[in-house]
């Protein structure tokens, strides 16, 4: 008899919402590359202990991150923004992500209703013993920036942050 009463109370609470559930927050982020064409530069240097040349590729992608939601978002200054290249079959492939030492800096944040502007500085090794690698058969192509962010400053793991993944509109890169 007691078990039936307990089940009835639990069912009644669930049906009438005994608890005070909170509404989920609206998380809306717009990530934009501020240029439709980005110029990449390629340099060769000998910076390895083996004496083998390293072919470096570098570019700067001006970005804006607009938070149109109702909560602050957070992202790491290093590692939260990666570069993807569109393949011939239409799929996206990670072309570059930074190498980040132990992250001791606090995360960047964008409060609700505001905007962050900055640059994504890409530098990767096309060939040779350098890193991080720039993994694309050809530099010229269509790319996008992907931002990994979260709504919790304390809950940012080092590495992949999957709570929110936002992609920019595609842009062209040319050597």
Average pLDDT of the chain, as a whole number: 81
Which residue, 136, 55, 139, 124, is CA-closest to 94?
136
Chain segment 109-163, per-residue pLDDT in tens: 999 999 999 999 999 999 888 889 999 888 999 999 999 888 877 655 554 444 6
Dig out the tokens for 118 from the structure.
């900055």
Per-domain boundaries in the chain: 22-174
Instruction: For 20-54, give one letter per residue: b (16+ CB within 10 A) or e.
Output: eeeeeeebebebbbeeeebebeeeeeeeeeeeeeb
Quick one: what percent of the chain has pLDDT higher than 70?
76
Q: Where are the beta strands (DSSP E) in the chain?
A: 29-33, 37-39, 41-45, 54-67, 73-75, 81-86, 92-96, 108-110, 115-127, 141-149, 164-167, 171-174
- In this prediction the pTM is 0.77
The whole-angstrom separation of Cα 43 and Cα 52 is 14
Question: Per mean pLDDT, which range of 62-71, 76-85, 103-112, 132-141 is the poorest?
Answer: 103-112
Q: Which is higher by pLDDT, 131 or 6?
A: 131
What CATH fold (topology level) applies to the domain 22-174? Immunoglobulin-like (2.60.40)
């Amino acid at each position: 008899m007691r078990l039936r009463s307990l089940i009835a109370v639990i069912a009644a609470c669930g049906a009438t919402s005994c608890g005070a559930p909170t509404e989920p927050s609206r998380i809306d982020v717009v990530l934009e590359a501020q240029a439709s064409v980005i110029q990449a530069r390629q340099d060769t240097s000998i910076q390895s202990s083996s004496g083998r040349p390293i072919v470096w590729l570098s570019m700067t992608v001006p970005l804006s991150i607009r938070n149109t939601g109702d909560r602050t978002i957070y992202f790491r200054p290093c590692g939260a923004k990666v570069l993807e290249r569109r393949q011939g079959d239409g799929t996206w492939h990670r072309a570059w992500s930074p190498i980040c030492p132990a992250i001791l800096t606090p995360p960047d944040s964008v409060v609700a209703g505001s905007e962050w502007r900055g640059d994504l500085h890409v530098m990767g090794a096309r060939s040779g013993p350098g890193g991080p690698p720039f993994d694309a058969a050809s530099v010229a192509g269509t790319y996008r920036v992907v931002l990994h962010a979260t709504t919790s400053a304390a809950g940012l793991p080092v590495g992949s942050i999957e709570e929110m993944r936002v992609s920019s509109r595609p842009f062209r890169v040319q050597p």
